[in-house]
Structure 1
């Protein structure tokens, strides 16, 4: 196994550990619900324990076992559509996460007496974990696999809508089963986790690059290298009193280093401006980069 693959697996596992700790130490003791497949597993567990009457030792949390079971169809989906590397990283991550969710000792009482503080800290820890796992080319299962599958096969498909509808259903049931506060605090947890995830996982961050260069072929090379659309026009440098070629491209932050390397290779003297756009409107292909 190559050093790079070992490094990626280390970060995948570390991310899974972070997510599991966020759930077991902050969310579970507070009686709150996660979003996605973990939240669905929590609801199924509640049904089995409270309605069906299944008896399990207090040291075991059925959430992890159920989470593993409902991920089995997605294992097949991930293997067939996203490649063997992603599949093996994901199946290892899901197995470890299921074990951790089942066996990590949870405090009998919430760590913080303030529910909001539990949501914030738990959301930061769990969101960081998911982001680290995705950034290393793995997945914690559930909506991660479904989202990446849709992003690759159907670029215009709204993964966010599926996630929003699923989470809305989870929190609606939680509100009916318990009270509105449980649903509200659970929602706060998920929002914080999602925000942290977007900042950790580079592929969720879009940047706009403006490149001013004298190399006329740079725009075409950028298009070939990162397979992104490039808008080019001619300009005039008031300082240099020379014609310039200006290229604009929107890429994910994950692709930024590739762009930098290409520009440095073709025109080390190019002027580059990188900005974070407030909004991107129009077609922008979402991709999964598996390393």
Structure 2
């Protein structure tokens, strides 16, 4: 019989500052790429990013600026409920995402993109990006903070919390945009939340 695996020490399971830096950076980059695809198609999404996108379309302001401002009220909640480290990481991630969504479109051009494919790419990339951010102790603010609090307190998965919020947000979007836009947007949101719901589980991921 093979020898049993050694029991890891707690200190061996913790993320180092370098681990967190690369994980959070990669997560933000994936989310920025996904949102770049989404905004190119004129689609919307759920959560705080979806609210910011709708406001940016309606007002003409840039998504990055609106996203940054919309998240400001949630930082106090994050600090009170989830601690200073989580709050600082979230502020850093939100700021980096706001800047990245402004810069990325300057670096490449999307000429042809099927809306359904673009929605799936958005959902997969952004879902994986959020997983990386969550697993390294941060968030992209807003509803992500509330969803993580609900999951920690009740066991109700963060992805499901976001799906419920998304249903309300998409009901509002249906009043403002063509139904084809809402349908493709809903596809992307379902892929995104499915990635989180099936993969974000602290018991499966022992490093913190």
Q: Do the two structures share a fold, i.e. TM-score over 0.5?
A: yes
Aligned to 2:147: 147
Gaps in structure 1 of 5+ consecutive residues = 50-55, 57-61, 204-251, 258-290
The question of 1:20 aligning with 2:32 is answered: yes
CA contact (8 A) 1:29 1:108 kept: no
Aligned to 1:198: 197
CA contact (8 A) 1:36 1:166 kept: yes
TM-score normalised by the chain length of structure 1: 0.60
Cα offsets for 1:1-42 (capped at 9, x unmatched) = x98022112101210110111110x21111110111011011
Change (3 A) 1:151 1:92: same
Gaps in structure 2 of 5+ consecutive residues = 1-13
Distance (whole Å) between structure 2 residues aligned to residue 103 and residue 198 of structure 1:
30
Change (3 A) 1:121 1:110: farther
TM-score normalised by the chain length of structure 2: 0.82
Pairing 1:40-189 to 2, within 5 Å after superposition? 40-49=51-60, 62-105=62-105, 111-112=112-113, 114-152=114-152, 154-155=153-154, 163-189=162-188
Aligned to 1:265: none
Cα offsets for 1:115-165 (capped at 9, x unmatched) = 21111122111111011111112111121111122333x426786675334
| Greater relative contact order, per chain length (Cα 8 Å cut-off, separation 6+) | 2
Change (3 A) 1:199 1:158: closer
Q: Which has the larger radius of gyration?
A: 1
Aligned residues: 194
RMSD: 2.5
